[in-house]
Amino acid sequence: MAKVVGDWLGRAGVKTLHIEFGSLWEDGYIGSFNGRLRDELLNVEVFDTLLEAEVMCEQWRRHYNAVRPHSSLGYELPASEAMLPWPSASSALLQEAMAGLT
């Protein structure tokens, strides 16, 4: 499937960006997340069963997204950031774009 998509992109004249596997300097966001996941969960817990791993990972995910402040969000919680309304300028741009579609 990836070959088919690659061929189609080539015919369309689209160039793709390639991130080398394990090259965290090319994808800092996932590298930062992976580091935190390893430091805060995987290096701390020992999982005896798959079910235990699933439960502990879900608890960590909920804590990470709803309880733990993030420096990139000004030490706000990601869940509260996601619930903020769009700024009025963005809403106006969206409404303008939607009007152009009708």
Q: How confident is the model at residue 73 (pLDDT cuts 50, 70, 90)?
A: confident
Backbone angles phi, psi at 3, to 5 degrees: -65, -40
Cβ distance 50 to 38 under 8 Å?
no
Query: Is residue 60 included in any domain, yes or no?
Result: yes
Looking at per-residue pLDDT, the higher value among 11 and 87 belongs to 11
Spell out the residues 6+ positions from residue 24 whose beta carbon is closer than 8 angstroms to its own: 30, 31, 34
Q: Of 22, 60, 20, which Cα lies nearest the Cα of 41?
A: 60
Query: Is residue 95 included in any domain, yes or no?
Result: yes
Cβ distance 81 to 73 under 8 Å?
yes
Cβ distance 70 to 78 under 8 Å?
yes
Q: What tokens does 93 get?
A: 């741009």
| pLDDT (mean) for 69-79 | 76
Query: Is residue 33 included in any domain, yes or no?
Result: yes
What is the pTM assigned to this prediction? 0.50
Query: Is residue 7 included in any domain, yes or no?
Result: no
Domain residues for 41? 27-101
Query: Is residue 1 included in any domain, yes or no?
Result: no
Spell out the residues 6+ positions from residue 27 whose beta carbon is closer than 8 angstroms to its own: 19
Q: How many domains does the chain have?
A: 1
| pLDDT (mean) for 16-24 | 64
Q: How confident is the model at residue 85 (pLDDT cuts 50, 70, 90)?
A: low
Query: Is residue 17 included in any domain, yes or no?
Result: no
